[in-house]
Structure 1
């Protein structure tokens, strides 16, 4: 990884870490803020059409900002996309965590509720899969800052799932090492459901993943016997 790429990734990560996705966030800057408008436009266009197919001109045009403002706030298209993905990570995780916690009062209920939250997302007309898996699929260099944001997102998602799996293990008197394995399996179910829903256009992929999750939970909870 080059020093420049390393710095770009760290800056995006630090910007993301400053916000606690589990609590209400500070209001965004005013709509007239050119940097924010560029981030919003980049996120929207890249998510819908992909990184390589989205040019700087299209982003600037959609944002309504002056072209010179792009160069004022970002040193490259890569830097803009990296920052836009880091911003999306914060927003998506806040939405997913809040939705999960609203639907379940116990760790088991919250784990299964994750698939109900996903179904709401799958049914939206602007659903285009996981922005981070999509980005990783377009960027071959594992050291690229964009891939770094994608990894960080999955690490955050796994950490949230692991938190619920640990709570379930503690409630049932099960070794947390088993919870670590369950959390990794759960992430596979989540990402698998997202992928199937994207390719098939069928939101019921979330229900299939939920059913598979119930089988995993039954096997996990049997360890308490």
Structure 2
């Protein structure tokens, strides 16, 4: 097995285990076993658990950005429709059988208070989402403050859907977003 193959196996196993069981609950031995690599190989590629968590979160960030931007692009050219596509993306995600909330919120909740590196990664991911929302809002001509409001709706929907196991949180967030957008977007 090549180094790249071993790395991929470790990260795939870690991503699945961390998302299903939690970051703190998964030990290196369990991860080694799930990935099918030796403990020596695991530690040679990832000297510390934080290294694996960081790599998993980097993968999740890329997946999130690709999925979200794809959903927005598929929504067409209308700025309002593109902005509301964010909530359609959330609804589809919340309906997935394996949905267990936002991996970043989960990581911050488990590790953010004691691991500054994980906290920084989570903050950077959330700032990236807020920046993306700001770009979508700017295209509507609405004031920039709307981006923070719509981001909070999306973040709240993620937490609510995870806790309640109810994908309708995205529908409610979308309806609230529609009200905010309609109030903020200048009408000709």
TM-score range, shorter chain: over 0.9
Contact 1:119 1:203 in 2 (8 A): yes
**Residue 44 of structure 2 is aligned to residue 68 of structure 1:** no
Aligned pairs, number: 187
* Alpha-carbon distance between aligned partners in 2 of 1:63 and 1:100, rounded to the nearest angstrom: 34
* Alpha-carbon distance between aligned partners in 2 of 1:32 and 1:55, rounded to the nearest angstrom: 22
Q: Which residue of 2 aligns with 1:182?
A: 146
* Alpha-carbon distance between aligned partners in 2 of 1:104 and 1:192, rounded to the nearest angstrom: 26
* Aligned positions of 1:1-225 closer than 5 A: 33-141=5-113, 144-169=116-141, 178-179=143-144, 181-221=145-185, 223-224=186-187
Structure 1 residues not aligned, in runs of 5+: 1-29
C-alpha displacement of 1:143 = 6.0
Contact 2:75 2:85 in 1 (8 A): yes
CA RMSD, 1 decimal:
1.8
C-alpha displacement of 1:224 = 4.8
* Alpha-carbon distance between aligned partners in 1 of 2:138 and 2:23, rounded to the nearest angstrom: 37
C-alpha displacement of 1:105 = 2.0
Deviates more, 1:63-72 or 1:182-191: 63-72
Cα-to-partner distance string for 1:127-171 (whole Å, 9 max, x where unaligned) = 0100001111112437611111111111111111111101111xx
Structure 2 residues not aligned, in runs of 5+: none
